[in-house]
């Protein structure tokens, strides 16, 4: 039977954890906005200067791909 030494486990520091939680939150927010963008009709997309293909491309981006300005 193997012995697990509790001293070898690395604890996650609070700032690292809060940064991770923030990054997950930003990703979920971006995913929600992208789903909403994909649901816009062609007239609404024209109003904001996007084509249907541009909206689809944005909606396909992964959740971790958020604008750099959000990470400040």
The predicted pLDDT at position 9 comes to 53
The predicted pLDDT at position 32 comes to 93
Can you tell me the distance from the alpha carbon of 52 to that of 45, in angstroms, rounded to the nearest whole number? 7
For 12-67, the pLDDT digits (tens) are 566 676 888 888 888 899 999 999 999 999 999 999 999 999 999 999 999 888 88
Own/partner long-range contacts of 30-37 (Cβ < 8 Å, ≥24 apart): 30/61, 30/63, 30/65, 30/66, 30/67, 30/70, 31/63, 34/58, 34/59, 34/61, 35/59
The predicted pLDDT at position 4 comes to 47
- The mean pLDDT of 7-12, rounded to a whole number, is 53
The predicted pLDDT at position 23 comes to 86
């Amino acid at each position: 039977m193997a012995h697990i030494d509790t001293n070898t486990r690395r604890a996650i520091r609070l700032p690292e954890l809060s940064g991770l939680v923030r990054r997950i939150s930003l990703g979920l927010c971006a995913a929600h906005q992208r789903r909403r963008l994909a649901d816009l009709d062609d007239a609404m997309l024209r109003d904001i200067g996007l084509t249907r293909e541009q909206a689809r491309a944005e909606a396909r981006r992964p959740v971790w791909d958020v604008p750099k300005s959000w990470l400040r």
